[in-house]
Amino acid sequence: MHYTGTIWRPPYEASSLLLEVTAGCTHHRCKFCTLYNDLPFKFKMSSLEAIEEDLREAKAQLQRWNDHRVSRTFLTGANPFVLKTSRLIEIAARIQTHFPTNQTIGCFARITDVALKSDQELFELRAAGYDDLTIGIETGDDQALTFMHKGYLAKEILRECKRLDDAGIHYNFFYLTGISGAGRGEAGAEATAQVCNQLHPQIIGASMLTVYPDSELYGEIQKGNWQEESEIEKYKELKVLVNRLDIPVWFGALGASNPIQIQGTLPKEKAKILSVLDRIIETVSEEDLRNYRTNLRHL
């Protein structure tokens, strides 16, 4: 398989066929991000020949395991949804040729990728099988979005995700706990809940900001331009987010960046999640949580 660098996928895509169609990120300017620093280039697109070879290899391998019933494919790379609609539809057709049982295709997407597509193109992509995109909105806090160079504001999250709703394309959000900085986490959570409550994410997955020395954000901290939240602040921020969300959604703080993993369905399990967060805030020490963060060598 033509996998390049570290392959990132959401936890809930564990059973999906992972197909590389891009590598790297077209944006690659977020101050906190180091996920693609191991690549010698910013972004590249896989050739159709390489994609075809990988599909043949995957099919042969699954046949050896006597299991070729692929139902979902996840396209790897930071934002494959940036590809032209014609390219994405061609990729979908090739997946369907090799795996007729495949029902849906997912990938990471940026808000700016959605903006590149017309309403008609979004409908065509949904018809081709694209569904359950994963979007790292990070926050609804415009101040944080601007400082971190995300490349969009909260109003654009609302506009583009409503267009996905209209096209019937479901989506999941990643929220980055701590992105608003020391003293602003709860305000950032409030702003994020206001955005999410107007939309229809299927999943909100929370990751905790971990600052690595090779990030631009580390340099901003050294210059005194930004201050990181304490670990307890991050849990207080999560508590505000969960408390303010009033839409039906699965919420999870999973993955290595979260010292203590939390998950549940809102609103049904809201009280349970809030109780767990209260217990962490009241009983777990800042020192223990900070030690975890300091020793987290890689996400």
pLDDT for 257-274, tens place per residue?
Answer: 999 999 999 999 999 999
For 74-125, write each residue's pLDDT tens digit.
999 999 999 999 999 999 999 999 999 999 999 999 999 999 999 999 999 9
Domain spans of the chain? 14-128, 132-299
| pLDDT exceeds 80 at position 67 | no
Stronger pLDDT, 182 or 65, i.e. the higher one: 182
| pLDDT exceeds 80 at position 62 | yes
Which pLDDT does position 68 carry in this prediction?
65
Which pLDDT does position 288 carry in this prediction?
98
**Same topology between domain 14-128 and domain 132-299:** yes
For 16-39, write each residue's pLDDT tens digit.
999 999 999 999 999 999 999 989
Q: How does strand 133-138 pair with strand 171-177? A: parallel
Spell out a b/e string for 211-236, using b for 16 or more CB atoms within 10 Å of the CB, else e. beeebebbebeeeeebebbebbbbbb
**Residue 186: enclosing H or E segment and its boundaries?**
helix 185-196
Cα separations (Å) of 56 from 68, 84, 87, 94, 196? 11, 23, 19, 10, 40
CATH of 132-299, one of 3.30.465.10, 3.30.750.200, 3.40.190.10, 3.30.70.590: 3.30.750.200
pTM above 0.85, yes or no: yes
Residues 6+ apart with CB under 8 A from 90: 48
CATH number for the segment(s) 14-128: 3.30.750.210
Which pLDDT does position 84 carry in this prediction?
98
